[in-house]
A and B are shown apart, each in its own frame.
Chain A
Amino acid sequence: EVQLVESGGGLVQPGGSLRLSCAASGFTFSTYWMSWVRQAPGKGLEWVANIKKEGSEKHYVDSVKGRFTISRDNAKNSMYLQMNSLRAEDTAVYYCAREGWESSGFDCWGQGTLVTVSS
């Protein structure tokens, strides 16, 4: 069964850091692009970042550039999101999502992990 499980969320003060993890199973992780997508309270879905299969190419939404870093370890079937200089507006449920082959969209999602930035 294809599965994505996020972890690492929690309460952090403004300006603090947090590292999210996404553990993948049930598929060949190294052959897929992967993304982080978030949903702030009462808001819609917002794509945050993605990373190419071998990690050589990464893209970020403007609002997190310079603060967040996406990475992956294909040997551990895992993806990460290092979040620094966190702001209140980063408060959201963060989802890990697989980008399917050949333009098939985000075809698998995790259940999400909640990040709350508050003093």
Chain B
Amino acid sequence: QSVLTQSPSASGTPGQRVTISCSGSSSNIGSNFVFWYRHLPGTAPKLLIYMNHQRPSGVPDRFSGSKSGTSASLAISGLRSEDEADYYCAAWDGSLSGWVFGGGTKLTVL
């Protein structure tokens, strides 16, 4: 059981906008930044969003992040087939003194 809670799956059609949510608590999302990663098993995970909503250089503006209270979300607009991957949220947990990840959301582009 992951400390951060994500829906296990999400889907959309090309061009659509999808949102992936992440729920935590006051000791992690509620008091620290949220990060989002994209991962294809067998490859290196990739940072998509840092500090709740900032995009690293090279990440298209189709990806956006937001945070409210103890929840966060990742939105992907203009969905493309290459967006199919597993998406994870993460945050530092002050009570655990460690990083915590969500269980991951598998995105399928129909």
Contacts and interface: CB of A to CB of B under 8 A. Distances in A.
Contact-size category for A? 20 to 34
Nearest to B44: A109
Interface in B30-68: 33, 35, 37, 39, 41-47, 50-51, 54, 56
Given A106-B35, A106-B37, A59 B97 contact: yes
Contact of A107 (B39, B41, B42, B56): B56
Interface in A9-52: 35, 37, 39, 44-47, 50
Contacts of A106: 35, 37, 45, 47, 90
Nearest to B46: A109
Nearest to B50: A105
Interface string B6-45: 0000000000000000000000000001010101011111
B44 A104 contact: no
Interface residues of B, number: 28
Given A107-B47, A109-B44, A44 B2 contact: yes
A37 to B, nearest CB: 8
Nearest to A109: B44
A82 interface: no
Contacts of A46: 101
Nearest to B8: A44
Most B-side CB within 10 Å, residue of A37, A45, A112: A45
Interface in A53-80: 59-62
A44 B90 contact: no
Contact of B99 (A50, A100, A104, A111): A50
B56 A104 contact: yes
A95 interface: yes
Contacts of A61: 96, 98
Interface of B: 2, 33, 35, 37, 39, 41-47, 50-51, 54, 56, 86, 88, 90, 96-104
Interface of A: 35, 37, 39, 44-47, 50, 59-62, 93, 95, 97, 100, 103-107, 109-112
